[in-house]
């Protein structure tokens, strides 16, 4: 390695209601890494509110680096400055994996193509709904086949669409949230979700956002996870100017609202519902990012 560089990867919000393991969007909230020549390989984190307190995030980065390089790690220093809340349903593990993949691709003698990186990211994350928006930016609709690379369509967010994310100060591990889901579903609930997932994808791709309130309905995961996110059921019923839809962000506990306009009043209303349950929360007013993982010279 002869030149230092920086990598940036966005947060993401998956499912958006019915698009379970299939639909996700990138958010303008970032993990950054500075990569510089060093005597030995090392990784460290800039202290801050969202610096990790265990090895989980670092391990995701290392898995990504190793997946691309497949051999000894190069003599570089990786310094990560992370602004993505960890363990809150905002795709932090996917961001870590994509950060590592992107670093590995930049260091590789023969960088992998986008299709290979998409497969690596999906394999590491286990599903494409966070992994591909983190890699590619925008909104991604994807289908996964264990024997083949993921099939996906990526498109830019409709003009004027923004996201409000409210993150409660409670813990809901993704593994625990997945364990709540039933092994089988009734046909009527499957049909309900197929209809709405198709409508959601069409609405976001076409820019016709009037159907989003209906399109974000879900019977596959949110009803089972809602009891662990106090106030969420009340949030689903909110009617406010500019509020287009409300859904769990990924497995939760963060709540995603899609809005037209800035969304400040929406964020305050969602935060108030958590406060009624005695839960403090943080509000993020975010663009849907058109950028995914990016690399730049450290001088730029």
Mean of the per-residue pLDDT values of the chain = 95
Same domain (yes/no): 80, 225: no
Shared-domain flag, residues 176 and 136: no
Q: Are residues 229 and 188 in the same domain?
A: yes
Pair 121, 217 in one domain = no
pLDDT at 1: 66
208 with 188, same domain?
yes
The pLDDT-based confidence of 213 (bands split at 50, 70, 90) is very high
Q: Which domain range does residue 122 map to?
A: 5-156+289-297
φ, ψ of residue 113 in degrees (nearest 5): -75, 165
How do residues 15-71 score in pLDDT, each as one tens digit?
Answer: 999 999 999 999 999 999 999 999 999 999 999 999 998 999 999 999 999 999 998
Please name the residues in contact with 209: beta carbons below 8 A apart, sequence gap of 6 or more: 158, 161, 203, 244, 258, 260
Per-state percent for the chain, helix, strand, coil, to nearest 5: 35, 30, 35
One domain, residues 190 and 204 = yes
Query: Domain check: are 138 and 183 in the same one?
Result: no
Q: Are residues 137 and 209 in the same domain?
A: no
Query: Residue 289 pLDDT > 90, yes or no?
Result: yes
Q: Are residues 108 and 239 both part of a single domain?
A: no
pTM of the model as a whole: 0.95
Average pLDDT over residues 220-242: 96
CA distance 237 to 42: 48
Helices (H), the chain: 56-69, 92-107, 114-125, 128-136, 174-179, 187-206, 212-215, 222-225, 232-236, 264-276
CATH of the domain at 207: 3.30.70.890
What pLDDT is stored for residue 146 in this prediction? 78
59 touches 78 (CB < 8 A): no
Q: Where residue 79 sits, what CATH number does that domain have?
A: 3.30.230.10
Q: Domains in the chain: how many in total?
A: 2
Segment 202-221 shows an average pLDDT of 97
- Span 130-155, pLDDT tens digits: 999 999 999 999 999 877 889 999 99
Is residue 49 a contact partner of residue 11, using CB atoms and an 8 Å limit?
A: no
Same domain, 263 and 125: no
Examine the domain organization and report whether 66 and 140 are in the same domain.
Answer: yes
Q: What is the pLDDT of residues 170-187, one digit of tens each?
A: 988 777 888 899 999 999
Domain co-membership, 134 together with 206? no
Whether residue 194 is predicted with pLDDT greater than 80 in this model: the reply is: yes
pLDDT confidence of 300, banded at 50, 70, 90? Answer: very low
């Amino acid at each position: 390695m002869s030149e230092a560089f920086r990598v940036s990867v966005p947060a993401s919000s998956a499912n958006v209601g019915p698009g379970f393991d299939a639909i996700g969007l990138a958010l303008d909230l970032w993990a950054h890494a500075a990569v510089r020549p060093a005597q030995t390989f090392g990784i460290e984190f800039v202290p801050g509110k969202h610096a990790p307190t265990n090895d989980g995030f670092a391990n995701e980065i290392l898995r990504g680096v190793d997946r691309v390089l497949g051999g000894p790690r190069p003599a570089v220093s990786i310094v990560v400055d992370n602004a993505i809340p960890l363990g809150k349903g905002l795709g932090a593990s996917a961001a870590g994996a994509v950060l590592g993949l992107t670093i590995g691709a930049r260091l590789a003698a023969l960088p992998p193509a986008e299709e290979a990186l998409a497969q690596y990211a999906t394999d590491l994350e286990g599903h494409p709904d966070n992994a591909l928006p983190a890699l590619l930016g925008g909104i991604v609709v994807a289908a996964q086949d264990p024997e083949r690379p993921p099939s996906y369509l990526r498109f830019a967010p409709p003009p004027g669409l923004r996201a409000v994310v409210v993150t409660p100060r409670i813990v809901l591990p993704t593994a625990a949230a997945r364990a709540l889901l039933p092994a089988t579903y009734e046909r009527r609930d499957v049909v309900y979700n197929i209809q709405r997932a198709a409508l959601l994808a069409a609405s976001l791709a076409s820019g016709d956002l009037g159907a989003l309130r209906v399109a974000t309905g879900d019977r596959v995961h949110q009803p089972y996870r809602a009891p662990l996110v106090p106030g969420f059921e009340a949030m689903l019923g909110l009617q406010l100017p500019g509020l287009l839809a409300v859904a769990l962000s990924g497995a939760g506990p963060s709540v995603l609202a899609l809005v037209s306009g800035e969304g400040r009043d929406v964020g305050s209303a969602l935060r108030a519902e958590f406060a009624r349950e005695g839960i403090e929360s943080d509000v993020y007013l975010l663009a849907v990012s058109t950028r995914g993982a990016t690399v730049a010279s450290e001088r730029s």
